[in-house]
Amino acid sequence: MNAITLPKPPRVGLVSLGCPKNLVDSERIMTKLRSEGYDMSPDYAGADVVLVNTCGFLDSAKEESLEAIGEAIAENGRVVVTGCMGKEAEVIRARFPNVLAITGAHQYEEVVAAVHDAAPPVPSPFIDLVPEAGLKLTPRHYSYLKISEGCNHRCAFCIIPSLRGDLVSRRPDAVLREAEKLVAAGTRELLVISQDTSAYGVDIRNDIRQWHGREVRPHMTDLSRELGLLRTPKGETPWVRLHYVYPYPHVDQVIPLMAEGHVLPYLDIPFQHASPKVLRSMRRPANDAKVLERIRGWRSVCPEIAIRSSFVVGFPGETEEDFDYLINWLEEARLDRVGAFRFEPVEGASANALPDPVPEEVKEERYRRVMEVSARISAEKLAAKVGATLDVIIDAVDDEGGASGRSKADAPEIDGEVHLRDAGGLRPGDVVSVHVEEADDHDLYGVPA
Ligand code: SF4
């Protein structure tokens, strides 16, 4: 019988100071590390890294925390500091410049990431219940990448900020590490999501991190650039698709990255309406009247950019004139993909108190008109692709030699598909050149080129 020697897991020492809340934080951190295969070390000597969870409640507690850090440095040398004293990182650094990382209280993801940096986990297919890239509910070849939680806006129809709080961005290196693991595990397409992707990093503006020897700001542009530099195990560039982007001026900086092929030429922008009056009453962010001009500018930099959006019809106070404004705007903007919703009051949303509700039959009629106009525009745009050769990512194959996939202009679940004939031998996740033979309102039909 052949014996297999399992890799030795890294060992973490812990010094936990302060109140019971801090103790619970320590338990959560250690539970997470243990679930990743780390061992606990009862002494300094056996630890690959020592975590000091500090207390900063009183001056005496701070001094005790500093002494504990000093002792861990003297006895072991590889120390990560977390807890309440994380707020006074400069005091700690002044006294102990060799501390590996300092994070604040409740920043579980940051602490765990700092331990990963100091003593990388050793993945083992024999004992890990969870693959390195985590458990996924999407097919293996595409993955959602959440870059922040919560939202700083207060749109009148939405209760997400009251459910999830204000924007909290993830560290850029933590996002990139997750993306790198996903790509190493077979992801060919990363779908960047949040409540407001263009606002990413405004809450941690100065938290610049090192990533593969380069500085990365917590900013949509830096993140997009770095995601575009990832490579699959076969050396291919993964597709990177940006969702929930608002048309703030800095979005213009991402368009050249699309033109250069770092990020897919695709923007999912939930405009929700076009009439300035309705947008104001909805309290939508970035709702200036020059959006059409901006879209023209993006198309001049990156002609193949596909723009998808969603719109709400029948918002309280929406007049026939506001609705006509929306229809004319859609005719001019010629978006590639459009979804529409009839306004529905959500419990707790401030829009419920607005006057002039729109009757249900009027909502229905407006919904029908938006869908008609957008289907015609979509059909015209897709018809123009007949005869072209496009890259398509394969999502599914059947037993009769057919397959379905998506072009760069199509996100999974929400946009159209490309249906292929004579596609034997392809597998989900393959990216192939396809000659487009036909089109309808939403889908393309073709054959591998
Ligand atoms: S709809 Fe408005 S408030 Fe709600 S998550 Fe989106 S931007 Fe934030």
Q: What distance in Å separates the CA atoms of residue 56 and residue 63, rounded to the nearest whole number?
A: 9
User: How many angstroms separate the first and last alpha carbons of the chain?
Assistant: 51
Question: In the 8-state DSSP scheme, what is residue 5?
Answer: P
CA 141 to chain centre: 16
Instruction: Please tell me the residue having the least CA distance from ligand 1 atom 4.
Output: 158
pLDDT of residue 411: 96
As given in the structure block, the two tokens for residue 185 are 């595990």
Ligand 1 atom, smallest distance to 195 CA: 5
Ligand 1 atom, smallest distance to 284 CA: 2
> Which residue among 147, 151, 248 is best mutated to probe the pocket of ligand 1, counting the most ligand atoms within 8 A of its Cβ?
151
270: three-class secondary structure by DSSP? coil
Confidence of residue 122 (pLDDT cuts 50, 70, 90): confident
Indicate whether 6 pLDDT > 70: no
As given in the structure block, the two tokens for residue 118 are 């100091």
Distance 286 CA to ligand 1 centre (A): 12
Contact 164, 198 (CB under 8 A): no
Instruction: Bin 400: left if φ > 0, else alpha if -120 < ψ < 50, else beta.
Output: alpha
Q: What distance in Å separates the CA atoms of residue 225 and residue 318, rounded to the nearest whole number?
A: 40
For residue 407, give every residue at least 6 positions away whose Cβ sits within 8 Å of its Cβ, in sequence order, or none.
390, 391, 392, 418, 434, 444
pLDDT by residue (tens digit) across 428-439?
999 999 999 999
348: three-class secondary structure by DSSP? coil
Q: What distance in Å separates the CA atoms of residue 360 and residue 362, rounded to the nearest whole number?
A: 5
Residues lining ligand 1, CB < 6 A?
151, 153-155, 158, 160-161, 195-196, 285
- CA distance to 140, 192, 209, per residue, from 212 (Å): 25, 21, 10
- Mean pLDDT (the chain) is 92
Indicate whether 123 pLDDT > 80: no
200: three-class secondary structure by DSSP? coil
> Which residue among 146, 152, 155 is best mutated to probe the pocket of ligand 1, counting the most ligand atoms within 8 A of its Cβ?
155
Crossing angle of helices 291-301 and 320-333, in 10° steps, is: 10
Instruction: Please tell me the residue having the least CA distance from ligand 1 atom 7.
Output: 153
Distance 294 CA to ligand 1 centre (A): 21
Distance 130 CA to ligand 1 centre (A): 33
Longest dimension (CA), the chain: 81
As given in the structure block, the two tokens for residue 358 are 């729109």
- CA distance to 275, 309, 319, 344, 353, per residue, from 364 (Å): 19, 19, 14, 12, 21
pLDDT of residue 285: 78
HSE toward the beta carbon, residue 311, CA cutoff 13 A: 28
pLDDT by residue (tens digit) across 13-59?
999 998 878 888 898 899 889 888 899 999 999 999 999 999 887 88
> Which residue among 149, 160, 167, 200 is best mutated to probe the pocket of ligand 1, counting the most ligand atoms within 8 A of its Cβ?
160
Ligand 1 atom, smallest distance to 152 CA: 8
Q: What distance in Å separates the CA atoms of residue 142 and residue 182, rounded to the nearest whole number?
A: 9
Confidence of residue 288 (pLDDT cuts 50, 70, 90): low
Indicate whether 124 pLDDT > 90: no
Contact 190, 141 (CB under 8 A): no
Q: What is the mean predicted confidence (pLDDT) over 359-373?
A: 97
Instruction: Please tell me the residue having the least CA distance from ligand 1 atom 6.
Output: 195
Distance 181 CA to ligand 1 centre (A): 29
From 81-95, 256-270, 302-316, the region with the lowest mean pLDDT: 81-95
From 23-32, 78-87, 192-201, 254-263, the region with the lowest mean pLDDT: 23-32
pLDDT by residue (tens digit) across 208-219?
999 999 999 999
Backbone angles phi, psi at 361, to 5 degrees: -70, -30
